Chains A and B, each alone.
Chain A
Amino acid sequence: MFAFFIRRVTQAVFVMLVISLIGFTIKQSVGDPLREITGISVSAAERDALREKLGLNDPFLLQWGRFLARALQGDLGNSFYFKRPALQVILGKAPATLELVFSTSLLVVLLSIPIGIYAAVRPRAWLARFFMGVSIVGVSIPVFLTAILLIYVFSVGLGWLPSFGRGELVTLFGGWQSGYFTSDGLKHLILPSIALSSIMLPLFIRLIRAEMKEVLETDYIKYARAKGLKPGRVLLVHGFKNTLLPVITVGGVQLGTLIAFTILTETVFQWQGMGAMFIEAVDRADTSLIVAYLVFVGALFVTVNTVVDLVYGLVNPMIRIAGRR
């Protein structure tokens, strides 16, 4: 287990290095660092002097090292548009995105597990077929289209739910602005969460169903039945626990997809999170902010994936004891 831990963390560090390298390359080749500082009305000679002073003529690797050192201290450059440190801008927007992602994940986990198990155990039941039918339609509708439809029906048509923004917010410690504590904030969460989960939920239902079906055909399930265990125990303790392992792995990866989809959802709902900010930054060619977003989101993915893998290692006795996959 210890070797596994070390291995996984080393991998995570390596991946972060690669990400920072990509981010830095983007910054080097696309953005003009002088623009952040000076603006356009500076003569060529002055630019060259400034370039030398800022170390922009140094070798690539040296500059990358400098970029890394600054990034470790939380300095990811300044946003050209906001005129503030990019990380600060992102941190200000992060709570909105994370709350959306969290409520979506909750929705996905709570619904996909029972439905997936049910569909695996009773594949021929009409309700299971209905769920599977809905889920394939669900995978086939792009998130932004689901979002638009939801808005059209529930906001424009019925007028039940708000169509944009986060509603009334409460500021928690550390400046975290939360929508979880007001009824207005929760109301604003409903449509975006449903829209965002519309792509993940079918995927997970299908995944859990497929894995569970496979597990149910194994010898050890048949053996558990031959031991005379109660059907519920066979299903949940013997069946689902083995289904969980692959689901956890995929779950970690899918969280990345979820954050990618927040870009679309936030755009439609004008949700003031990182995703919408990123699209605006792309429109404004705010390179520093784009790179900062890349690094920030990358760090988020890597952390989540590493944690998921470690949890997987804890759940799976093969790794816990033998230390290897």
Chain B
Amino acid sequence: MNTDTLVSIRDLHKHFDISGGWLDQLRFTGGRFARRKTLVQAVNGVSFDIMEGETVSVVGESGCGKSTLARTVMRLYPPQAGEVHYRGRRIDHLSREQFKPYRTRMQMIFQDPYASLNPRMRVRQILEEPIRFHRPKTSGSEVLDRVAEIMQQVGVDPEWRERYPHEFSGGQRQRISIARALAVDPEFIVADEPIAALDVSIQAQILNLMMDLQEKRRLTYLFISHDLSVVAHISNRVAVMYLGTLCELAAIDALFDRPRHPYTQALLSAIPRLGAKGFQHQRLTGDVPTPIDLPSGCVFHGRCPHANDRCAREVPTLRPQGQETLVACHGVAEGRLPD
């Protein structure tokens, strides 16, 4: 593995208050009025490190908090608790002005290529804006050269710089979105489902591009995805999330060869496989609980085939299992899970 820790996430919590005005919070229970806040507990105590030059993927199903985690790391949301460190410096509590230099080091790529580019700006303006903002002394011709260079790198003809986003296809837009992130020469990129909205043949193009860029620019990726086969392809390590908590964090081969957490096992078994006949996936009972009323103990215990009393009471912590795996499961820790 690589040497230096680039980003370190420590016990991060992010809750959203969706209860609206105080009249909306009013409840009538047990013969009396009470004000109750409705909190969406999107991320609850997530910790892990990202090493320089690697790709860490966060996978999970919709509503598991993976996108919120990405946005909290990028400071799009302020965390309720916990810390984010960048190269050993704590960054989550900095003011906008103090944080500004970090904006050139960490950038983000978004999911929807149709919504992530401002429809009223030309490609040139979209790509110039970050350069001019962070390096205001750059001369006009330098900026223009820089824009052309990045467009070249992501595979969009610089001749098209005066066009508007709607003149491009989804794949090309995603390239432009990547170009915007690269404009300030970052070393760390958070990619939130960057290929989920694209067709298969275009997905391959974007994945290849991202891997090429990583090689050329020594980028570090935090890759958010729901698609395990894509994750298996691109990442060094994978973090599996369920209902705002981390179930398992493992090196890619360890995770796919020997998933430990029951949820990871279920998730892996459910990937549609080319050429497989019928279904042998592990069935989970019940629905995913809402992040508003989190279950007690292990968040997965209501659907877990191996859950016992302890799982319902006690929150499991991440513990090392073997060399490259961390698992948060009482069953695994106690060794009572069938292998």
Task: Let me know if chains A and B touch directly in the complex, using CB atoms closer than 8 Å.
Answer: yes
For the complex formed, measure the closest distance between the CB of B37 and the CB atoms of chain A, giving whole angstroms: 14
- B11-61 with Cβ < 8 A to chain A: 20, 23-24, 26-28
A2 and B23 form a contact (CB under 8 A):
no
Can you report 12 residue pairs joining A to B where beta carbons are below 8 Å apart?
A: A2-B28, A3-B24, A3-B26, A3-B27, A3-B28, A6-B23, A6-B28, A7-B23, A7-B26, A11-B23, A324-B20, A324-B24
Contact bitstring A67-104, B, C-beta under 8 A = 1, else 0: 00000000000000000000000000000000000000
A10 proximal to B (CB < 8 A): yes
For the complex formed, measure the closest distance between the CB of A27 and the CB atoms of chain B, giving whole angstroms: 30
The dominant DSSP class at the A interface is: helix
Q: What are the 5 closest A-B residue pairs judged by CB atoms, nearest first? A: A7-B23, A2-B28, A10-B23, A3-B26, A6-B26
For the complex formed, measure the closest distance between the CB of B17 and the CB atoms of chain A, giving whole angstroms: 14
> Which chain B residues border A6 with CB–CB below 8 Å?
23, 26, 28
| Nearest B residue to A8, CB-CB | B23
A176 and B20 CA atoms in complex are apart in Å by: 45
A163 and B113 CA atoms in complex are apart in Å by: 64
A12 and B26 CA atoms in complex are apart in Å by: 16
Contact bitstring A275-319, B, C-beta under 8 A = 1, else 0: 000000000000000000000000000000000000000000000
- A165-212 with Cβ < 8 A to chain B: none
For the complex formed, measure the closest distance between the CB of A3 and the CB atoms of chain B, giving whole angstroms: 6
A6 and B20 CA atoms in complex are apart in Å by: 15
A7 and B24 form a contact (CB under 8 A):
yes
- A1-35 with Cβ < 8 A to chain B: 2-3, 6-7, 10-11
| Nearest B residue to A2, CB-CB | B28
Q: Number of contact residues on A: which range applies?
A: under 10
A11 and B23 CA atoms in complex are apart in Å by: 9
> Which chain A residues border B27 with CB–CB below 8 Å?
3
A148 and B28 CA atoms in complex are apart in Å by: 55
> Which chain B residues border A324 with CB–CB below 8 Å?
20, 24
Task: Given contacts A3-B27, A6-B26, A7-B23, list 6 more A-B pairs with CB under 8 A.
Answer: A2-B28, A3-B24, A3-B28, A6-B23, A6-B28, A7-B24
> Which chain A residues border B24 with CB–CB below 8 Å?
3, 7, 324
- A137-186 with Cβ < 8 A to chain B: none
> Which chain B residues border A11 with CB–CB below 8 Å?
23
> Which chain B residues border A10 with CB–CB below 8 Å?
23
A11 and B20 CA atoms in complex are apart in Å by: 14
A6 and B27 CA atoms in complex are apart in Å by: 10
For the complex formed, measure the closest distance between the CB of B57 and the CB atoms of chain A, giving whole angstroms: 33
For the complex formed, measure the closest distance between the CB of A143 and the CB atoms of chain B, giving whole angstroms: 37
For the complex formed, measure the closest distance between the CB of A309 and the CB atoms of chain B, giving whole angstroms: 13
For the complex formed, measure the closest distance between the CB of B167 and the CB atoms of chain A, giving whole angstroms: 26
For the complex formed, measure the closest distance between the CB of B40 and the CB atoms of chain A, giving whole angstroms: 14
For the complex formed, measure the closest distance between the CB of A84 and the CB atoms of chain B, giving whole angstroms: 39
> Which chain B residues border A2 with CB–CB below 8 Å?
28
A7 and B20 CA atoms in complex are apart in Å by: 12
| Nearest B residue to A10, CB-CB | B23
| Nearest A residue to B25, CB-CB | A3
For the complex formed, measure the closest distance between the CB of A1 and the CB atoms of chain B, giving whole angstroms: 11
A3 and B20 CA atoms in complex are apart in Å by: 13
A324 and B36 CA atoms in complex are apart in Å by: 14
For the complex formed, measure the closest distance between the CB of B165 and the CB atoms of chain A, giving whole angstroms: 26
A324 and B21 CA atoms in complex are apart in Å by: 12
A74 and B26 CA atoms in complex are apart in Å by: 32
For the complex formed, measure the closest distance between the CB of A300 and the CB atoms of chain B, giving whole angstroms: 23
A260 and B26 CA atoms in complex are apart in Å by: 35
A61 and B199 CA atoms in complex are apart in Å by: 66
| Nearest B residue to A7, CB-CB | B23
A324 and B38 CA atoms in complex are apart in Å by: 12
A309 and B23 CA atoms in complex are apart in Å by: 16
A321 and B210 CA atoms in complex are apart in Å by: 47
- B62-98 with Cβ < 8 A to chain A: none
> Which chain B residues border A3 with CB–CB below 8 Å?
24, 26-28
For the complex formed, measure the closest distance between the CB of A325 and the CB atoms of chain B, giving whole angstroms: 9
> Which chain A residues border B26 with CB–CB below 8 Å?
3, 6-7
| Nearest A residue to B18, CB-CB | A324
A144 and B5 CA atoms in complex are apart in Å by: 76
> Which chain A residues border B23 with CB–CB below 8 Å?
6-7, 10-11
For the complex formed, measure the closest distance between the CB of B225 and the CB atoms of chain A, giving whole angstroms: 27
For the complex formed, measure the closest distance between the CB of A9 and the CB atoms of chain B, giving whole angstroms: 10
A281 and B24 CA atoms in complex are apart in Å by: 41
For the complex formed, measure the closest distance between the CB of A319 and the CB atoms of chain B, giving whole angstroms: 12
A10 and B27 CA atoms in complex are apart in Å by: 14
| Nearest B residue to A6, CB-CB | B26
A10 and B24 CA atoms in complex are apart in Å by: 11
A3 and B27 CA atoms in complex are apart in Å by: 6
For the complex formed, measure the closest distance between the CB of B116 and the CB atoms of chain A, giving whole angstroms: 26
Contact bitstring B193-234, A, C-beta under 8 A = 1, else 0: 000000000000000000000000000000000000000000
| Nearest B residue to A14, CB-CB | B23
| Nearest A residue to B28, CB-CB | A2
For the complex formed, measure the closest distance between the CB of B35 and the CB atoms of chain A, giving whole angstroms: 11
